[in-house]
Amino acid sequence: MKDPHDIIIKPLITEKTMDMQQQKKYTFVVDKRSNKTEIKNALESIFGVEVAKVNTVNMRGKMKRMGRFEGKRPDWKKAIVTLTDKSKTIEFFESM
């Protein structure tokens, strides 16, 4: 079994994700090879919350250039997690 801290890489904090927190939806950058069940179990063990639903999106990396040289940012996976109504909130986001 994978370590939960290897599955959840970092929280994704934007204006849109901050507005989604009022509906108990939180967004994280997760490992590309992880599935919804692994993400759910990792969040429940790290933060001690009850997860109702997990939606995942595979994001493509952007093409970037520096002068005449072109490169590509890496692909990544985003998880939008919905908590149950009786679940507590994630305290990490409360200080934002």
Give Dmax over CA atoms of the chain in angstroms.
54
User: Can you tell me the distance from the alpha carbon of 92 to that of 96, in angstroms, rounded to the nearest whole number?
Assistant: 8
The model's pTM:
0.89
Query: Do residues 88 and 48 make contact, with C-beta atoms less than 8 angstroms apart?
Result: yes
Quick one: average pLDDT of 26-55? 96
What pLDDT, on the 0 to 100 scale, is given for residue 1?
Answer: 65
Quick one: average pLDDT of 49-73? 96
Domains and CATH numbers, the chain: 4-87 (3.30.70.330)
What pLDDT, on the 0 to 100 scale, is given for residue 73?
Answer: 96
